[in-house]
């Protein structure tokens, strides 16, 4: 039926769009605003997630070694760490290197730490990355039990807090997006209901003449989809423009926040929003139509 | 048998009993006047025929099929076998005469060529030649009702249902509409027409069913 009558449905949809110009404009605007904010929410979530991932992956375990250890003992400890479950990467940091880093932190060339301290008091250590940042505590404990290791440090307490925070940020941003989507559907359903309401006489007539529900629905769906798409395109235009200029200025002003800027990924987000626009149009139309079809 | 009502009672959700134990039969080809004062239940009876309302109790058969037990998706087919004419015409104001009539056929899926041929035919039949491209607002009441009738018969229904089709028209215009309905009936279409105007019915020589307070109080044939 849809194929045979597609020309008719499309024509009806276009006629209705241009006849109810004010209402169509209102719906498109509503769509654009909703999709824009949905897009903002998505980008915020993605960037927050990215930031969280980065924070999490910065977490590392530092295992300080007994002093002194022979080279052979050192090798043994390293193999033991590497064979511990959940370990991704192990880097050896010699006591000289540790002192060097400390020196860099003071960064005063004329102040020689080694000379001041005399003998280097820092131990040899291993820096260990966990496969899964969430398992850092268990991994650290297992490593602490390896003979030859004198102390393990991974920011105890702080790490747990960080995970609490990231968990909540993720949950909240999901909730926020769901609320936005529901709000968008509600607003769209309301504007489309007005459009449908202004044509209820026609719908009633079609029902009495013996039109099937789908025959009546299609022109409205096409109309809803078109409004959704136009709204989505407007929103994405604004969003893409805004985000691109944000990335450009962020490189200089906000260097400490790593913005997601892979083109492929962003294009995916924008395409997703276009699809969301069409789907919102369909759902909104479906909700507002059904009441009038019950004749 | 085209229409059968068995002990049909309709109680609206607000508690009004619009039809009370109505039983009757209508044969193919009949012309029926449904009489009765305002509020007697005529419109309710009419709405039952095309299943806009369902009975609270009782059974209704159209062409021997129960429309009470009918599935929702079968309703369009029931309605395609009927044409409905309304007191307020229910024309689409933004469509021309031709478009209003063609609309009904498009809805049931006829092809464009068939639609054009039938539109010309019914416009001729109801006497609206020359008004094809007028909008309803540019037509008199009688002319608008002719468009309504043309639309109702375009799909060649078995049954033409009219609820006070001349209720908004003056006497002379009403008589013209009656002539048109008689003509349609003569060609074989069963017609059921609700009206409270005795003067239209008196000397017609048709079967008259009279409702009062939701009950059939008389069902008889007047002399021609
Ligand atoms: N949709 C409805 N809901 C509630 N009551 C109704 C409805 N339609 C009609 N009625 C009531 O049913 C009774 C019969 O109405 P109706 O069938 O329209 O009579 P008629 O067409 O003979 O004037 C009236 O009392 C009317 O108020
Ligand atoms: Mg009535």
Distances in whole angstroms, Cα of residue B167 to Cα of each of A254, B57, B152, B172: 76, 30, 17, 12
Q: At the topology level of CATH, where does A60-154 sit?
A: Alpha-Beta Plaits (3.30.70)
**pLDDT on residue A261:** 77
Q: Tell whether ligand 1 has an atom less than 6 A from the beta carbon of residue B177.
A: no
pLDDT at B224 over 50: no
Nearest-by-Cβ selection for A209 from B52, B73, B107: B107
pLDDT at B199 over 70: yes
**pLDDT on residue B16:** 96
CA of B194 to the centre of ligand 1 (A): 14
CATH 3.30.70.3040 maps onto chain A at 60-154
The tens-digit pLDDT sequence of chain A (295 residues) is 667 788 888 888 888 888 778 888 888 888 898 889 888 888 888 887 787 777 777 788 888 888 777 888 888 888 888 888 888 888 888 888 888 887 777 766 666 666 777 777 788 888 988 888 778 888 888 888 888 888 888 877 777 787 788 788 778 888 888 887 788 778 778 877 887 888 888 889 999 999 999 888 888 889 888 888 999 999 999 999 998 888 887 766 655 667 777 888 889 989 999 998 888 888 888 888 888 888 7
**pLDDT on residue B122:** 95
Quick one: CA dihedral B75, B81, B87, B90, positive or negative? positive
Q: Which segment, A23-27, A138-142, B164-168, B210-214, is predicted with the most confidence on average?
A: B210-214
Q: Tell whether ligand 1 has an atom less than 6 A from the beta carbon of residue B41.
A: yes
pLDDT at B4 over 80: yes
What is the rounded average pLDDT of the residues B99-109? Answer: 91
pTM: 0.72
DSSP-derived secondary structure letter, B67: S
Side-chain-side CA neighbours of A256 within 13 Å: the count stands at 0
pLDDT for B125-152, tens place per residue? 999 999 999 999 999 999 999 999 999 9
Judge whether A196 and A284 are in contact, CB under 8 Å.
Answer: no
Position of tokens 């290791």? A149
User: How far is B96 from chain A, CA to nearest CA, in Å?
Assistant: 14
In this prediction the ipTM stands at 0.86
**pLDDT on residue A1:** 65
Polymer length in residues for chain B: 224
d(CA A159, CA B176): 91
Q: Tell whether ligand 1 has an atom less than 6 A from the beta carbon of residue B210.
A: no
d(CA B33, CA A284): 45
List the residue whose alpha carbon is closest to atom 26 of ligand 1. Answer: B39
Q: Which residues surround ligand 2, an ion (CB under 5 A)?
A: B 43
List the residue whose alpha carbon is closest to atom 17 of ligand 1. Answer: B41
List the residue whose alpha carbon is closest to atom 2 of ligand 1. Answer: B12
Which residues in chain B have their CB less than 8 angstroms from residue A208's CB? 50, 52, 79, 84
Judge whether B10 and B56 are in contact, CB under 8 Å.
Answer: yes
**Cβ contacts of residue A63 below 8 Å, gap of 6+?**
A81, A125, A126, A128, A143, A144, A146, A149, A151, A152, A153
Instruction: Quote the longest CA-to-CA distance of chain B.
Output: 49
> How do strand A125-130 and strand B3-11 relate by DSSP bridges?
unpaired
**pLDDT on residue A94:** 86
Average pLDDT, chain B: 93
Distances in whole angstroms, Cα of residue A233 to Cα of each of A26, A276, A285: 15, 11, 19
**pLDDT on residue B27:** 94
Q: To the nearest 10°, the Cα dihedral for B131, B135, B140, B141?
A: 120
Cβ–Cβ of B108/A202 closer than 8 Å? no
> How do strand B207-212 and strand B31-35 relate by DSSP bridges?
parallel
Chain B residue with minimum CA distance to A200: B92
Model confidence band, residue B25 (pLDDT cutoffs 50, 70, 90):
very high
Which residues in chain A have their CB less than 8 angstroms from residue B107's CB? 206, 209-211, 215
Judge whether A274 and A232 are in contact, CB under 8 Å.
Answer: yes
Whose CA is closest to A93, among A122, A120, A71, A125?
A125
d(CA B76, CA B122): 22
The best mutation among B8, B11, B12 to test binding of ligand 1, ranked by most ligand atoms within 8 Å of the C-beta, falls on B12
pLDDT at B221 over 80: no
**Cβ contacts of residue A120 below 8 Å, gap of 6+?**
A95, A96, A99, A114
Q: How far is CA A240 from the centre of its chain?
A: 16
> How do strand B190-194 and strand B159-163 relate by DSSP bridges?
parallel
Q: Tell whether ligand 1 has an atom less than 6 A from the beta carbon of residue B102.
A: no
Judge whether A124 and A92 are in contact, CB under 8 Å.
Answer: yes
Chain B residue with minimum CA distance to A206: B107
Nearest-by-Cβ selection for B106 from A1, A8, A208: A8
Judge whether A10 is closer than 8 Å to chain B, CB to CB: no
CA of B214 to the centre of ligand 1 (A): 10
Ligand 1 atom with least separation from CA of B40: 22
Interface test with A, best of B47, B49, B76 (most A CBs within 10 A): B76
Interface test with B, best of A199, A210, A290 (most B CBs within 10 A): A210
Judge whether A215 is closer than 8 Å to chain B, CB to CB: yes
**pLDDT on residue B55:** 97
Nearest-by-Cβ selection for B90 from A4, A201, A295: A201
Angle at A251 between CA A249 and CA A255, to 5 degrees: 120
Judge whether A210 is closer than 8 Å to chain B, CB to CB: yes
What is the rounded average pLDDT of the residues B12-17? Answer: 96
d(CA B48, CA A265): 59
Domain boundaries, chain B: 95-156
d(CA A208, CA B155): 12
Nearest-by-Cβ selection for A208 from B50, B77, B94: B50
DSSP-derived secondary structure letter, A288: H
List the residue whose alpha carbon is closest to atom 20 of ligand 1. Answer: B39
* Ligand at shortest distance from the CA of B213: 1
The full DSSP string for A107-130 is --TT--HHHHHSS--PPPEEEEEE
Which residues in chain A have their CB less than 8 angstroms from residue B50's CB? 208
């Amino acid at each position: 039926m849809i194929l045979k009558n597609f020309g008719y449905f499309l024509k009806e949809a276009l006629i209705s769009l241009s006849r109810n110009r004010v209402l169509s404009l209102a719906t498109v605007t509503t769509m654009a605003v909703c999709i824009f904010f949905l897009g903002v929410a998505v980008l915020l979530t993605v960037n927050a997630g990215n930031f969280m991932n980065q924070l999490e992956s910065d977490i590392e375990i530092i295992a300080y070694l007994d002093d002194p250890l022979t080279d052979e003992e050192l090798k043994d400890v390293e193999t033991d760490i590497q064979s511990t479950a959940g370990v991704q990467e192990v880097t050896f940091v010699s006591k000289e290197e540790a002192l060097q880093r400390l020196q860099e932190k003071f960064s005063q060339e004329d102040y020689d730490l080694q000379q001041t301290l005399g003998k280097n008091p820092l131990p040899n250590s291993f820096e260990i990355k966990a496969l899964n940042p969430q398992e850092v505590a268990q991994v650290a404990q297992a490593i602490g039990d390896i003979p030859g290791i004198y102390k393990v440090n991974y920011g105890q307490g702080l790490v747990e807090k960080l995970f609490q925070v990231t968990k909540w940020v993720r949950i909240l941003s999901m909730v926020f997006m769901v609320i936005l989507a529901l709000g968008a559907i509600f607003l769209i359903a309301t504007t489309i209901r007005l459009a449908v309401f202004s044509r209820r006489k026609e719908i009633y007539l079609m029902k009495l003449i013996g039109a099937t529900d789908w025959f009546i629905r299609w022109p409205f769906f096409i109309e809803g989809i078109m409004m959704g798409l136009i709204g989505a395109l407007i929103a994405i235009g604004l969003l893409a423009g805004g985000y691109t200029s944000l990335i450009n200025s962020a490189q200089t002003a906000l260097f400490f926040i790593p913005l997601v800027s892979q083109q492929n990924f962003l294009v995916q987000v924008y395409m997703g929003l276009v699809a969301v626009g069409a789907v919102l149009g369909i759902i909104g139309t479906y909700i507002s139509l059904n009441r009038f079809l019950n004749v | 048998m085209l229409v059968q009502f068995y002990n049909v009672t309709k109680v609206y959700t607000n508690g009004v009993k619009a039809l009370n134990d109505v039983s009757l039969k209508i044969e193919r080809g009949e012309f029926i006047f449904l009489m009765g004062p305002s509020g007697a239940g005529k419109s309710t009876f009419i709405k039952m025929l095309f299943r806009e309302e369902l009975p609270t109790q009782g059974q209704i058969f159209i062409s021997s099929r129960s429309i009470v037990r009918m599935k929702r998706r079968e309703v369009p087919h029931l309605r395609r076998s009927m044409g409905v004419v309304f007191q307020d015409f229910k024309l689409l104001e933004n469509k021309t005469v031709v478009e209003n009539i063609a609309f009904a056929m498009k809805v049931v899926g006829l092809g464009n060529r068939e639609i054009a041929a039938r539109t010309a035919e019914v416009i001729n039949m109801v006497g609206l030649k020359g008004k094809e491209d007028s909008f309803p607002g540019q037509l008199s009441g009688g002319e608008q009702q002719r468009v309504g009738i043309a639309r109702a018969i375009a799909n060649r229904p078995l049954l033409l249902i009219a609820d006070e089709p001349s209720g908004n028209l003056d006497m002379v215009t009403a008589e013209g509409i009656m002539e048109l309905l008689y003509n349609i009936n003569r060609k074989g279409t069963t017609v059921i027409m609700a009206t409270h105007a005795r003067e239209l019915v008196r000397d017609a020589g048709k079967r008259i069913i009279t409702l009062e307070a939701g009950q059939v109080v008389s069902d008889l044939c007047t002399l021609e």
